[in-house]
């Protein structure tokens, strides 16, 4: 790890913010890296079997869902990944993604007093702009199945590439330390890391949903489906009622909210 001034300061702040919980994490802080999720995968492939928190000031190849790039310029966001081994088999990736979304939402609310919305399944919105994304992945190694939860939050990002400028935004929180937000999010996420069957995040997930009651469409095997998002079930899956009266359960994929 590059022993840069940013890295040393951020690691010190993370340990202070995490308190006694810091002892259970191996902290890896980078001034620049391709992707914190990719680094977590490398660690798992190299045999690391503990819990790790990987943080970067800038990502050159930040990744979102469906192979998309997550824009991660320096000094403007909180970009981090958690690598851990679940205490119980993780049978539902949507559930951990939902728990992570709620953890980030609660951290933002407690530190800034700002309420963000959650677009199923993994995006956070503020003032109708996407300000955060979550990518949960699993890796299988000799040590067993590991889970990686990557989170990117735009704190004060202003200049976005043209292709995302109309949909991307930030929290406008330049005074907030990324380390403070990362530590708060990790603290909120820990109960669900310790117990993947814990569903106590669901009420907040439903309450903060930006899609329930909205007309949506999605693609499945090359076909477009239109319907209305009616509920989120106990596994975090989205229930939609199609125009023909058939109910669909979406446990993965991506939806688009239709403009009325």
Mean pLDDT for the stretch of residues 225-254: 94
Q: What mean pLDDT is reported for the chain?
A: 92
Q: Which of the two residues, 169 and 6, has the higher pLDDT score?
A: 169
When mean pLDDT is compared across 29-38, 82-91, 129-138, the lowest value belongs to 82-91
Q: Which residue in the block uniquely carries the two structure tokens 């824009």?
A: 71
DSSP letter for each residue of 37-94: HHHHHHHHHTT--SEEEEEES-BSS-B-GGG-B----TTSEEEEEEEE--SS----HH
Task: Count Cβ atoms below 10 Å from residue 137 Cβ, excluding itself.
Answer: 18
Question: Which domains, from first to last, does the chain contain?
Answer: 5-207 (3.30.930.10), 215-257 (2.30.30.100)
- Is the pLDDT at 260 greater than 60? The verdict is no
Per-residue model confidence (pLDDT) at position 1: 44
Q: What is the pLDDT of residues 59-72, one digit of tens each?
A: 999 988 766 789 99
- Is the pLDDT at 90 greater than 70? The verdict is no
- Is the pLDDT at 78 greater than 60? The verdict is yes
Cα–Cα distance between 105 and 117 in angstroms, integer? 8
Per-residue model confidence (pLDDT) at position 88: 67
Mean pLDDT for the stretch of residues 200-222: 96
Per-residue model confidence (pLDDT) at position 138: 87
Which two tokens mark 104?
């980030």
Mean pLDDT for the stretch of residues 129-158: 90
Q: What's 120's DSSP letter?
A: T
Per-residue model confidence (pLDDT) at position 203: 97
Percent of the chain past pLDDT 70, that is, above it, reads 94
pTM reported for the whole predicted model: 0.94
Cα–Cα distance between 189 and 153 in angstroms, integer? 15
Mean pLDDT for the stretch of residues 129-142: 89
- Is the pLDDT at 247 greater than 60? The verdict is yes
């Amino acid at each position: 790890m590059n022993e840069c001034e940013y890295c040393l300061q951020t690691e010190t702040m993370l340990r202070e913010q995490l308190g006694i919980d810091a002892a259970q994490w191996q902290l890896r802080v980078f001034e620049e890296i391709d992707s914190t999720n990719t680094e977590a995968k490398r660690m798992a492939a190299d045999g690391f079997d503990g819990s790790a928190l990987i943080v970067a000031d800038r990502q050159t190849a930040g990744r979102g869902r469906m192979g998309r790039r997550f824009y991660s310029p320096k000094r403007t966001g909180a970009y981090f990944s958690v690598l851990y081994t679940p205490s119980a088999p993780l049978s539902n990736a949507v559930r951990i993604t939902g728990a992570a979304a709620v953890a980030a939402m609660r951290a933002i609310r407690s530190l800034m007093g700002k309420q963000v919305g959650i677009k199923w399944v993994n995006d956070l919105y503020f003032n109708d702009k996407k300000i955060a994304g979550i990518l949960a992945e699993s890796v299988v190694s000799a040590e067993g199945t590991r889970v990686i939860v990557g989170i990117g939050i735009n704190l004060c990002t202003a200049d976005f590439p043209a292709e995302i400028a109309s949909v991307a935004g930030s929290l406008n929180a330049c005074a907030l330390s990324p380390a403070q937000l990362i530590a708060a999010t990790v603290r909120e996420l820990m109960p669900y890391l310790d117990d993947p069957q814990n569903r106590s995040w669901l009420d907040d997930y439903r309450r903060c949903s930006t899609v329930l009651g909205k007309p949506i469409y999605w693609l499945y095997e090359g076909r477009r489906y239109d319907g209305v998002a009616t509920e989120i079930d106990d596994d975090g899956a989205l229930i939609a009622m199609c125009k023909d009266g058939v109910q669909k359960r979406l446990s993965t994929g991506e939806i688009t909210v239709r403009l009325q």
